[in-house]
Amino acid sequence: MKRCLLLSDIDRALPMTIRDLVEQSYEQAKKSGWTEREVPIPEMIALIHSEASEALECYRKGEAISWTDETGKPQGIASEFADILIRIGHYSFLLRIDLEEEVKRKLEYNATRPHRHGGKLA
């Protein structure tokens, strides 16, 4: 039996750029009502931090890195890392940050840094 190729299958087969992530994160936030008020930068940072804290809680509970609950919701550290990127994408859009360019710029700079940034332990 020949299977029809769905648009979602094509979307998954294509690589996602950071610019795509930023745009899709914003569009989903808008659709879900998360753009109806201005979000102060300190709140943005706190909400990004809350996703990192949720990832830590997954680890502390001994959860699998990635799993799906009975409702179909992705769970685990991987899902929380994804939430971090989605929030960063949304907020980068709002702040007009070219995140793709900033990541490239930072990676280029980091390549010039000494081993363990001069001997840091962590």
Q: Where are the domains of the chain?
A: 16-98
Distances (CA, A) of 62 to 48, 50, 56, 71, 103: 22, 19, 10, 20, 31
Yes or no: say if 86 and 44 are a contact pair by the CB < 8 Å rule. Answer: no
Query: Does pTM top 0.75 for this prediction?
Result: yes
Yes or no: say if 21 and 102 are a contact pair by the CB < 8 Å rule. Answer: no
- 46 Cα distance to chain centroid: 15
Per-residue pLDDT of the chain (122 residues; tens, 9 = 90+): 555 656 666 667 779 999 999 999 999 999 999 999 999 999 999 999 999 999 999 999 999 999 999 999 999 999 999 999 999 999 999 999 999 999 999 999 999 999 998 888 88
Query: Pairing mode, if any, of strands 67-68 and 74-75?
Result: antiparallel
